[in-house]
Amino acid sequence: MGGLPVDPIDAVDEKKNHDSSSSSDNELDALPAVKGLKDDAARQLDVSLALPGMTGVHEEDELDPAESRAVKRKLDWRIMPLLCLIYTVQFLDKNNIGASAILGFLQDAHLTGEQLNNLGTFFYVGMLASQLPHAYAFQKLPVAKYLAVMMFFWAVLVGVHAAGRSYHSLIAIRLLLGFTEGCITPGLMLVTSMYYTRAEMGERVGLVFQCNGIASILSGFIAFGAYHTPNHTPLSLPQNHGKVAQWQWFMIIISLLTLATSILFALFFPDSPTKAKFLSGEERVIAIKRIKTNQSGVETKSWKWPTSLCSTPFFANFVGGIGIQYTLIIKDFGFKVWQTTLLNIPGGALMVITVTVSMWIFHKYPNARGWISAGSYVPSIIAAMVLVIHPNSRVGLLIAFYCIQLGCTPAVVLSLSWITTTTSGHTKKLVLNAMWLIGYSVGQMVSPQWWKDKYKPKNRVPWIIILSSYCFQVVIILFLRWFLQRRNRIRDEAAKNATTEEEKDLYGEYGWLEVPGADGSVNKIRVEKRFLDLTDFENKNFRYVL
Q: What is the DSSP track for 297-312?
A: -S------HHHHHH--
Specify the pLDDT at position 179: 92
User: Residues 514, 523: contact at Cβ < 8 Å?
Assistant: yes
Specify the pLDDT at position 302: 43
Specify the pLDDT at position 153: 93
Look up the CATH superfamily of 65-233+243-297+319-487.
MFS general substrate transporter like domains (1.20.1250.20)
Specify the pLDDT at position 319: 55
Q: What is the pLDDT of residues 5-41, one digit of tens each?
A: 333 333 333 333 333 333 333 444 444 444 444 444 4
Instruction: Report the C-alpha gap between 260 and 267 in whole angstroms.
Output: 11
Annotated domain spans of the chain: 65-233+243-297+319-487
Which of 397, 376, 28 is CA-nearest to residue 202?
376
Number of H helices, E strands in the chain: 21, 2
Low-confidence ranges of the chain (pLDDT < 70): 1-62, 231-242, 292-321, 323, 407, 420, 422-431, 433, 501-503, 505-520, 522-538
Specify the pLDDT at position 17: 34
User: What pTM was computed for the model?
Assistant: 0.68
User: Residues 250, 98: contact at Cβ < 8 Å?
Assistant: no
Instruction: Report the C-alpha gap between 207 and 388 in whole angstroms.
Output: 32
Specify the pLDDT at position 315: 38
Specify the pLDDT at position 14: 34
Specify the pLDDT at position 512: 66
Cβ neighbours, 10 Å, residue 464: 15
What does residue 200 show for φ and ψ, rounded to 5 degrees? -65, -35
Specify the pLDDT at position 531: 59
Specify the pLDDT at position 312: 30
Q: Length of the chain, please?
A: 546
Q: What is the DSSP track for 45-57?
A: S-GGGGSTT-SS-
Instruction: Report the C-alpha gap between 165 and 171 in whole angstroms.
Output: 11
Q: How far is CA 330 from the centre of its chain?
A: 28
Instruction: Report the C-alpha gap between 502 and 53 in whole angstroms.
Output: 26
Instruction: Report the C-alpha gap between 388 and 322 in whole angstroms.
Output: 15
- Asked if the bond preceding 457 is cis, omega within 30° of 0, the reply is yes
Burial class (CB in 10 A: 0-12, 13-18, 19+), 305: exposed
Specify the pLDDT at position 61: 54
Q: What is the DSSP track for 461-520?
A: HHHHHHHHHHHHHHHHHHHHHHHHHHHHHHHHHHHHT--SHHHHHHTSSEEEEEEE-TTS
Question: In sequence order, which residues have a C-beta less than 8 Å from that of residue 471 and are 6 or more positions away?
Answer: 377, 381
Instruction: Report the C-alpha gap between 385 and 389 in whole angstroms.
Output: 6
